[in-house]
Structure formats: C-alpha cells, structure tokens
C-alpha cells in the first residue's frame, strides 16, 4: 500500500474513533454506511445502510429522517470508499468500526455493524454480477446484423 492510501485509511480510522456520526459512502454500489454513535438509555447507537446522497446537507436531512428522536448532530464525518467492502478489513477500518461500536456499551451495536458490513458485501456481489450479466448497461450502438465488413 502506498503512503497516500495509508494516510487516507488512518484519517478514516481517526474519524471513526472520534466522530459521533461517520458516513462511509461506496460510489460503486451507491450506498452509505452510517455509524451514528449518539445514543441515550432508550435509543441505541445507529448502524444503518442508506442510499448515497449528493450533498452533505442531504445526508443530514436523511439522518434526521432515520433518527428523528435525536437532535441533529454537531458534525458529520463523511468519506468515500472506492475499494471493495472486503478491503475495509485489510485497511483496519472494519475493526475500527467494530471497536467503536463496542465502546458505546451497547452489545447490539457490534452485531448491527457486522450485519451491515455483511449486507454491503452482499450488495456489492449482486452489483458485480449484474455488471457481468450486462444488466447494468445498455447498448448505445450496434452494427447491423449481416452487414458486410
């Protein structure tokens, strides 16, 4: 791994370790993993998969819709992940997410995080299968059948 990628991974890990709401978006599959570590006695930490949005303001609005009983967060930490979902583990990011969920004291948060990572992996596999099958593309030009070269 080159130094620049290593630095980027470390920045994401730091955001996970210190942020109250961290959004890691996956442009390849159009999804975002939202770690909302804010919680109360009645409201557990949130680990959710949501569609990608185009602006941070939209992410904030979506978060307010997903967690309406909580006030808006003081900050959002948003980062893209262009690698595969599996590569989160190699980069130490999946472990950082699981550790941070464990630090909340909510035993279910770790399991929700594991399930979300598994669901993202499944979505990614389905997306790649659709690409290979041609379901994610359309023909924009085709040579006439039977035409002479």
Tell me what pLDDT residue 134 has: 78
Q: Give kind and range of the element (H or E) at residue 47.
A: strand 46-51
**Cβ-based neighbours of 9, under 8 Å, separated by 6 or more:** 1, 91, 92, 93
Tell me what pLDDT residue 147 has: 61
Per-residue pLDDT of the chain (149 residues; tens, 9 = 90+): 577 878 889 999 999 999 999 999 999 999 999 999 999 989 999 999 999 999 989 999 999 999 999 999 999 999 999 999 999 999 999 999 999 999 999 989 999 999 999 999 999 999 888 878 877 677 777 788 776 65
The radius of gyration computed from the CA coordinates of the chain, to the nearest angstrom, equals: 19
Query: Residues 10, 11, 17, 21: what is their CA dihedral angle, to the nearest 10 degrees?
Result: -150
Entry pTM: 0.85
d(C-alpha 53, C-alpha 67), whole Å = 17
Classify burial at 80, counting beta carbons within 10 Å of its beta carbon; exposed 0-12, middle 13-18, buried 19 or more. middle
Among 93, 95, 110, residue whose Cα is nearest residue 13: 93
Tell me what pLDDT residue 107 has: 86
Tell me what pLDDT residue 105 has: 92
């Amino acid at each position: 791994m080159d130094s620049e990628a290593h630095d980027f991974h470390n920045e994401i890990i730091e955001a996970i370790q210190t942020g109250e709401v961290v959004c890691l978006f996956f442009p390849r599959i159009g999804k975002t993993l939202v770690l909302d570590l804010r919680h109360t006695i009645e409201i557990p930490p949130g680990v959710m998969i949501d569609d990608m949005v185009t602006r941070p303001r939209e992410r904030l609005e979506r978060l307010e819709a997903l967690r309406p009983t909580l006030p808006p967060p003081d900050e959002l930490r948003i980062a893209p992940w262009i690698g595969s979902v599996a590569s989160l583990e190699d980069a130490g990011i999946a472990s950082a997410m699981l550790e941070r969920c464990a630090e909340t004291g909510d035993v279910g948060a770790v399991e929700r995080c594991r399930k979300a990572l598994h669901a993202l992996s499944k979505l990614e596999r389905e997306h790649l299968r659709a690409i290979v099958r041609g379901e994610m593309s359309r023909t924009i030009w085709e040579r006439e059948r039977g035409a002479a070269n």
